């Protein structure tokens, strides 16, 4: 029998997770059984992915940068990467804004539903506002200051410090290029080997992926709020999801046009990472898998992927920025506010920055949304309106965040002549477009 492809296995895990979750909500004590006996396996799975995120970035980036052997190549690739990342983010926010103005989902929320939701979720809103305030109370250059850690070992103790680790790794890699090859050889070989080991760990963890996502989704279902709330927010959720789907089609199109790879090639190659992003709601936790898929299934050479992807997981969040634009305007609509054109233009800028600043972890986009609301003078209490559906939307936007990183990795690889054909040896299909 033909072996089932990984994405089918993960998809099956997800479907069973949802079904078992639904089943267990129907009888008393079912929720607790899932929480006590199934949920921990999901947590273990996510932890095992997070566990290797920092070592992976360190090893992959040091190897990637030092492989370039030339500083000018690095700055060329760095410029392209950041430029394309910002470009795709602006496209995403613009799509979000256009859709939300067109669909006008805020109109479907009546006065009493709005009051009820603000009442129900006000506690959560306060929590998010407090988190956002910590970020806001700092100076304009704080983000830049934060990139340079004062101690690499303490920086490496938290997955939230990815940019600091990236900074250290790139710096280390550059220095490695600059010393005589003979002297750097041992260090380079060490990181090459280290990188291989981490990639093997990703392979091994992925064997457990179908079971991991099963546990994650079963737990999510038994813990999700009532269906009624979802209904009230239907149009808002549909607008976000439709925008996200549009964004995925744009990636597919850009990849097809610029790299001449067929849509199926791209979607098939990246799908396990997408499903994992959906199940974990974290681009950081998905990074090891994104890296593996992009290098081994999409043909991006390692030195490009190991540079472009960790940076993308941290700063390129197209799904998040699109969602932030829709959410901000939706809340304004629900409160009966009219946002003028210049405020909406400002939302493009703030949502772009807010998505860059969002950590690659579940719910981070909502924390940074507070900044966008603050800029546009939209009541922060409105966060309570979107709270109920935030988790499912987080799952969808994370999927888009990861897809965007992969698409940009392919574009950058193509532009520097580092895009190969991974299937040439093992597949019969010719995925190359004429
Ligand atoms: N969960 C998202 C990610 O990790 C960030 C967010 O939008 O909350 O990519």
Residue 336 belongs to some domain of the structure? yes
d(CA 394, CA 241): 10
Max CA pair span of the chain: 73
Query: Radius of gyration (Cα) for the chain, nearest Å?
Result: 22
Residue 332 belongs to some domain of the structure? yes
Residue 154 belongs to some domain of the structure? yes
pLDDT given for residue 426 in this prediction: 42
Give the atom of ligand 1 at the shortest distance from the alpha carbon of 361: 4
* Ligand 1 centroid – CA 279 distance (Å): 12
Ligand 1 and 418: CB distance under 6 A: no
Residue 353 belongs to some domain of the structure? yes
Residue 430 belongs to some domain of the structure? no
Q: How confident is the model at residue 276 (pLDDT cuts 50, 70, 90)?
A: very high
Structural domain boundaries enclosing 69: 6-415
Residue 62 belongs to some domain of the structure? yes
For 107-254, strand residue ranges (E) read none
* Average pLDDT for 282-308: 92
Ligand 1 and 58: CB distance under 6 A: no
Please tell me which residue, 421 or 77, carries the higher pLDDT value.
77
pLDDT tens by residue, 246-263 = 999 999 999 999 999 999
Residue nearest to atom 7 of ligand 1 (CA): 365
Ligand 1 and 30: CB distance under 6 A: no
* Ligand 1 centroid – CA 3 distance (Å): 32
Report the phi/psi class of residue 417: left, alpha or beta, with left for phi > 0 and alpha for psi in -120 to 50.
left
pLDDT tens by residue, 356-386 = 878 888 888 888 898 889 888 888 888 888 8
Indicate which CATH number applies to the domain containing 404: 1.10.3860
Ligand 1 and 358: CB distance under 6 A: yes
Residue 429 belongs to some domain of the structure? no
Residue 105 in this model has a pLDDT that exceeds 70: yes
Domains in the chain, number: 1
* Ligand 1 centroid – CA 189 distance (Å): 34
Ligand 1 and 360: CB distance under 6 A: yes
Q: How confident is the model at residue 289 (pLDDT cuts 50, 70, 90)?
A: very high
**Which residues lie closer than 8 Å to 26 by C-beta, 6 or more apart?**
none
Report the phi/psi class of residue 402: left, alpha or beta, with left for phi > 0 and alpha for psi in -120 to 50.
alpha
Ligand 1 and 316: CB distance under 6 A: no
For a mutational test of ligand 1's pocket, the pick from 362, 383, 393, i.e. the residue with the most ligand atoms closer than 8 A to its C-beta, is 362
pLDDT given for residue 423 in this prediction: 59
Most confident option among 5-14, 75-84, 245-254, 346-355: 245-254
Residue 433 belongs to some domain of the structure? no
Q: pLDDT > 90: what percent of the chain?
A: 48
């Amino acid at each position: 029998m033909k072996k089932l492809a990984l994405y089918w296995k993960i998809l099956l895990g997800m479907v069973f997770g949802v079904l078992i979750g639904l089943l267990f909500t129907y009888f008393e004590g079912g929720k607790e059984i899932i929480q006590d006996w199934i949920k921990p396996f999901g947590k273990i799975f996510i932890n095992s992915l997070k566990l290797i995120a920092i070592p992976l970035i360190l090893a992959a980036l040091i190897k990637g940068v030092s492989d370039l052997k030339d500083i000018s190549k690095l700055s060329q690739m760095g410029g392209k990467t950041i430029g394309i990342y910002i470009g795709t983010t602006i496209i995403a926010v613009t799509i979000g804004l256009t859709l939300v103005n067109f669909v006008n989902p805020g109109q479907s929320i009546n006065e009493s539903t709005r009051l009820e939701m603000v009442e129900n979720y006000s506690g959560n809103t306060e929590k998010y506002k407090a988190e956002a305030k910590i970020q806001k109370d700092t100076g304009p250059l704080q983000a830049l200051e934060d990139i340079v850690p004062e101690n690499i070992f303490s920086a490496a103790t938290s997955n939230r410090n990815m940019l600091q680790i990236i900074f250290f790794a790139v710096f280390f890699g550059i220095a490695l290029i600059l010393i005589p090859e003979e002297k750097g050889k041992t260090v380079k070989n060490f990181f090459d080997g280290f990188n291989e080991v981490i990639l093997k760990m990703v392979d091994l963890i992925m064997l457990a992926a179908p079971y991991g996502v099963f546990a994650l989704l079963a737990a999510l279902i038994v813990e999700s709020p009532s269906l009624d709330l979802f209904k009230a927010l239907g149009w808002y959720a549909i607008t976000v999801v439709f925008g996200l789907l549009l964004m995925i089609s744009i990636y597919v199109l850009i990849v097809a046009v610029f790299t001449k790879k067929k849509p199926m090639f791209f979607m098939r190659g990246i799908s396990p990472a997408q499903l994992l992003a959906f199940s974990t709601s974290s681009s950081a936790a998905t990074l090891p898998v994104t890296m593996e898929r992009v290098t081994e299934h999409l043909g991006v050479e390692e030195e490009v992927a190991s540079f472009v992807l960790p940076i993308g997981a941290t700063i390129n969040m197209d799904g998040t920025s699109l969602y932030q634009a829709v959410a901000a305007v939706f809340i304004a609509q629900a409160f009966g506010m009219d946002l003028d054109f210049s405020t909406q233009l400002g939302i493009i800028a703030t949502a772009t920055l807010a998505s860059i600043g969002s950590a690659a972890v579940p719910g981070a986009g909502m924390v940074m949304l507070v900044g966008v609301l603050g800029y546009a003078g939209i009541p922060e209490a409105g966060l309570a309106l979107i709270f109920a559906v935030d988790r499912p939307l987080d799952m969808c936007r994370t999927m888009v965040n990861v897809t965007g990183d992969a698409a940009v990795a392919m574009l950058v690889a193509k532009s520097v002549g580092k895009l190969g054909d991974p299937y040439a040896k093992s597949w019969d299909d010719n995925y190359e477009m004429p």
